[in-house]
Amino acid sequence: MTKLIVLFSGGTGTPKLLQGLIELVPQEEISVVVNTAEDCWLPHGYFSPDVDTVLYTLSGLIDDEVWHGIKGDTFFTHRQLLALGHDEVLNIGDRDRATHIYRGALMRRGLRLSETIEILRKTLGVRGRVYPMSDDPVETVISTPEKDMGLHEFWVEKKGSPTVTGITIRDAEKATPTPGVVDAILSADGIIIGPSNPVSSILPIISIPPIRKALKARKNRVAVSPVIGRKPVSGPADKFMKALGFEPTSRGTAELYEGLVDHFVVDIRDEELYLEETEVYRTDTIMNNLEKKRALAEFLLGILNISYH
Ligand code: GDP
């Protein structure tokens, strides 16, 4: 019988997990709901970084050293732009840029973001479903003592150094989920909130009211902590969690997901954790090779009682 697993994803930790999961599960049985709160128009096209990382992961194109862009890509256009004096902050590869250009052209013709992703998905030969969380603009705004900024300015341009005084997920409350997302959540055999940034990747998705409601109505939901001790495995999750008043730990992550998960997986190196309503599991969650990615995916399938043998 066909099964359906739904994952909530940002751009690094969950795609690593996806690489392991697709070794075990037919892609047709996987749907990924992806954060779009870092999307923006760039001079050449429309940039949807987390969606592209998921598309490239499922199609085998991903540059899995840096978790964005296409493996073996060239950078002629980027270098020429710099030579001409255009200060392009993001290091965008030529083939990756083609994705942005094509998506932007389709959107200018009137297609919705989700429709353009459906076209890209099929063209790239991706058999799993990839849903941007919404076709409506939602934006993660990072407040610093100097000014408000987006994630790319904070993390790439300013290298994550400003003090973060607040985070707002702008317009999430009035966003509508992409068609198919709520049905996928309600009909899935199991739901995985992957090890993504709880604030800048997962919070935008779970702040969209119908997605939150659907997830709340479910059972068989598992989340993986992206934090060990008081440090995320990578990225600025600790600063962001503190800015929202959560401790930057697995406990803080579980609190952010309160009422939305039944099972919570923390790393074996992490401190002991007991949660009232949620069962806690411990395993090695550091996915630094394919075997470990597959092992974590298998561990999660076990928790969700989904078997493929
Ligand atoms: P980012 O913080 O902007 O990089 O946001 P992403 O949503 O792309 O995901 C990165 C998150 O995944 C970070 O919070 C990391 O701590 C987490 N992460 C990355 N690799 C791993 C891993 O191998 N294991 C675990 N448990 N978490 C990971």
Convert the pLDDT of each residue in 294-304 to its tens digit. 999 999 999 99
Residue 309's pLDDT band, with cuts at 50, 70 and 90, is low
10 Cα nearest atom in ligand 1: 7
Report the residue among 234, 294, 299 best suited for mutation to probe ligand 1: largest number of ligand atoms under 8 A from its CB.
Answer: 234
For residue 302, what are the contacts with CB-CB under 8 A and spacing of at least 6?
Answer: none
What residues make up the domain containing 34?
Answer: 5-38+131-303
For residue 10, what are the contacts with CB-CB under 8 A and spacing of at least 6?
Answer: 34, 35, 50, 194, 196, 197, 200, 201, 202
Q: Tell me, rounded to whole angstroms, the distance of Cα 145 from its chain centroid.
A: 27
- Alpha carbons within 13 angstroms on the beta-carbon side of residue 231 total 3
Q: Over the stretch 200-251, which tens digit does the pLDDT of each residue have?
A: 999 999 999 999 999 999 999 999 999 999 999 999 999 999 999 999 999 9
Using the predicted structure, report yes or no on whether residue 183 has a pLDDT greater than 90.
yes
Q: Strand 148-149 relative to strand 166-170: parallel, antiparallel, unpaired?
A: unpaired
Q: Pick the residue whose CA is nearest to atom 18 on ligand 1.
A: 13
Using the CB atoms, write b or e for 243-255: b if 16+ within 10 Å.
beebebbbbbbbe
Q: Pick the residue whose CA is nearest to atom 21 on ligand 1.
A: 13
Q: Has residue 174 been placed in a domain?
A: yes
Helices 49-59 & 94-108 angle (0-180, nearest 10): 120
Separation of CA 197 and ligand 1 centre (Å): 6
Q: Has residue 309 been placed in a domain?
A: no
Burial degree of 277 (CB within 10 A; 0-12, 13-18, 19+): exposed
Write the CATH number for 30: 3.40.50.10680
Q: Has residue 299 been placed in a domain?
A: yes
Question: Rounded mean pLDDT of the chain?
Answer: 96
Q: Has residue 44 been placed in a domain?
A: no
- In this prediction, residue 308 carries a pLDDT of 83
Q: Has residue 308 been placed in a domain?
A: no
Report the residue among 62, 196, 241, 285 best suited for mutation to probe ligand 1: largest number of ligand atoms under 8 A from its CB.
Answer: 196
Ligand 1 pocket: which residues have CB below 6 Å? 10-13, 16, 195-197, 200-201, 224, 226, 232-237, 267, 285-287
227 Cα nearest atom in ligand 1: 16
The total number of structural domains that make up the chain: 1
Q: Has residue 16 been placed in a domain?
A: yes
Report the residue among 197, 246, 256, 273 best suited for mutation to probe ligand 1: largest number of ligand atoms under 8 A from its CB.
Answer: 197
Tokens of 22: 């697709």
Q: Has residue 59 been placed in a domain?
A: no
Q: Strand 30-34 relative to strand 129-132: parallel, antiparallel, unpaired?
A: parallel
Q: Has residue 123 been placed in a domain?
A: no
Using the predicted structure, report yes or no on whether residue 1 has a pLDDT greater than 70.
no
Q: Over the stretch 11-44, which tens digit does the pLDDT of each residue have?
A: 999 999 999 999 999 999 999 999 999 999 999 9
Tell me if 4 sits within 8 A of 187, measured CB to CB: yes
Q: Over the stretch 73-110, which tens digit does the pLDDT of each residue have?
A: 999 999 999 999 999 999 999 999 999 999 999 999 99
